[in-house]
Amino acid sequence: MTEPVKSLFETRPPSTLAQSAFISMYGGVYEHSPWIAKQLYDRGITPALDNPAALADAMAAVVNGAVDDDKRTLLRAHPDLAGKLALADLTQSSQNEQTGAGLDQCTADELARFTELNDIYKKKFGFPFIFAVKGFHRTDILNAFERRVKNDVETEFNEAINQVHRIARLRLDAL
């Protein structure tokens, strides 16, 4: 009988890691934003954070406590969804997430609409449209995009931060 595969949290709990190892393992949970893992490590990593849910909540607290300029930088670190170069120029996590939602299989019309909406959205909000795509089909994402591009700036800023937290949680759960 084979033993079940152990998660990263079981084999190398966050509370047992040196700073460099912690940042190496968790610095990419928030897209191109290792500062979040570093700040959390500096606050102290205890055994209470040795599970995905607790670590996700602690990392989200770092982001939520950041100034808006740092939050905007975090949002701007995300790729366009189904953009012209999107699937070629992504982190491995983002590429897997977008491919899983079928964004690499857009029809010409869908790709044109994603591109148009990406341009409108970035001009209006100053950061790319962010959507935690896991579990959704590209048509669901396109429908959400159509709705959210009509939001006011404050509403959409908050929604984008919530989506970033959802992405981080899904990435931690996958470990």
Nearest to 13 by CA among 49, 38, 37, 41: 49
**How many Cα neighbours within 13 Å face the side chain of 1?**
2
- Which residue in the list 32, 78, 137, 165 is annotated as catalytic? 78
The CA distance from 138 to 89, in Å, is 19
The encoded tokens of residue 143 equal: 């429908």
DSSP three-state, residue 14: helix
DSSP type of residue 65: T
78 is catalytic: yes
Alpha carbon distances (Å) from 110 to 38, 79, 102: 39, 17, 11
DSSP type of residue 1: -
End-to-end CA distance of the chain: 23
Residues taking part in catalysis = 78
